[in-house]
Structure 1
Amino acid sequence: MGDQVGYLIGIDGGGTSTRALVRSRDGAVVGAGRAGPSALGQGVAQAWRHIQEAVQAAFVAANIRRPGWRQCAMVAALSGASHGPWRTAFLAADPGLAHLAAETDAFAMLVGAHGGRPGAIVISGTGSVAEALAANGERTTVGGWGFPAGDEGSGAWLGLHAVRHAQQAFDGRANASPLARRVWMLCGDEREALQAWCAQAGQHGYAQLARAVFECEERDPAAAALLQQATAALEDLALAIDPRGRLPLAVGGSIAERLAPRMRPALRNRLVQPRGGAVEGALELAAQAVQRQELEEIS
């Protein structure tokens, strides 16, 4: 494989878009491209279509004709890659790459944040999870159980609890606070309307309400309390993923980035600036795969 590969490709694919980053074997970044969503839960055929469009856009941006797939090694960090059947179906549709692997977006974010070196990361955006990579190569995952049972401290978790508060306020079980009124404005201020919103919202719908919690914090103790609970949940993830605090710690995702300054000093002092994101992590994993194969061929 090593002799065939001229280009390394990293993919970061989610429910709204796909990013591709292409690098030549000499280390030079060729280009970047974007396309539509490639979350595996939306279909493997769509994922591959948008991945290929993003890769094509990256080569077009560099004014380079896309080479044959046998000259490329790709690691795709995709939403849904942790689901075995989806991952298997995705890999089975390989267009003929010299190397192809599918990874979770969380692990790729970990690799990107620490440049492939050992470290830990707490991620909170729509959902939440913590990942760690030890010096011996061992991988650990904490959290990430999914909405609504898990994903504590995430945007969807904040939104769910904001709606619960609004429901209680509607019934008179809680004060009609600014946060409750904001939820009513966004989701419905009548019982049937609010019920209908809850029935169809899903994880992403609830996550859209996280902004309202932050905006209401200064004048609403209920919103402030939710953000305090969310911060504590992310601290729990950080402590569980690396109890002895030996690994450098990064945060990723819009919610974690906003809550990180609120963490206890012992955790804040361990925080490091991420070196890259999921697409850079996927590219690093592709480079590592080619290097391993070359060493195996030599030996």
Structure 2
Amino acid sequence: MFKGSIVAIITPMTEKGKICRNSLKKLVQYHIKNHTTAIVSVGTTGESATLNQEEHNYTILSTLEFADGKIPIIAGTGANSTYEAITLTKKLENSGIRGCLSVVPYYNKPTQNGLYQHFKSISENTNIPQILYNVPSRTGCDMLPETVIKLSKLNNIIGIKEATGDLTRIHQIKQYVKKNFLIISGDDTTALDFMQLGGDGVISVTANIAAQEMSQMCLLALQNDFINARIINKKLMPIHQALFLESNPIPIKWAAFKLGMINNDTLRLPLTTLSYTTQKILQKALIKSKMIS
């Protein structure tokens, strides 16, 4: 179910910073049309850190409503407090959410045992399948392969989004986990290499604006047609790189606005609009990738 191109969807907002349902509906329909395999709602790209719990739940349930059973929804329910992560997850039980993405607790910098106990507690207190999310560049804490392997033995922990960019992690994890344990890239730039080494797909930022291309690239990769997959990846590489010149989701929101996919590029402070210098670089990347003329 969670293989191929999975989008880490942006959370569109009005000029006043409220959740924009019209733009969100448009984005969900875009991903259904272009064969994205699943949507992650309110992950890092969805500005989870600046939404309150009510907005968090509202955005996820709105995404689920607009999907109308046509595409599975994964809810971002991670937090740096174990209690909060459990609370966010439990609110979605019996909602139709197909899985939860749970980030390594940020700022606290727990030990490996602390990480294990955190995710074990979520697993024991909720019934929604859990995907671990390791992104040390954002959390300040790296969940090591040994901890992932230990957690993989728990019943409803079904995979990991590995966003270290370290391709050796795939083999380190894959050889010791059950066969159906998902290992998903969290880095668009290295996602194709990740899949060639045995990864199951990517939770993608680029897919927000290039859903069809990312879907086709991942489909080819899963069919072991890496020659044609690399042709698509080469075309997208300027975008992969430009989308991380400033903190995600600043560039992807600007690009989606530029392409007419959302009504504006409003972000929540402390995130601010893409700088003029980076706008020019990203615009050139969009032209080079033939997204705009």
The two structures share one fold, judged by TM-score above 0.5: no
Q: Which has more helix, going by share of residues?
A: 1
Q: Which has more strand, going by share of residues?
A: 1
What's the TM-score, normalizing by structure 1? 0.26
What's the TM-score, normalizing by structure 2? 0.27
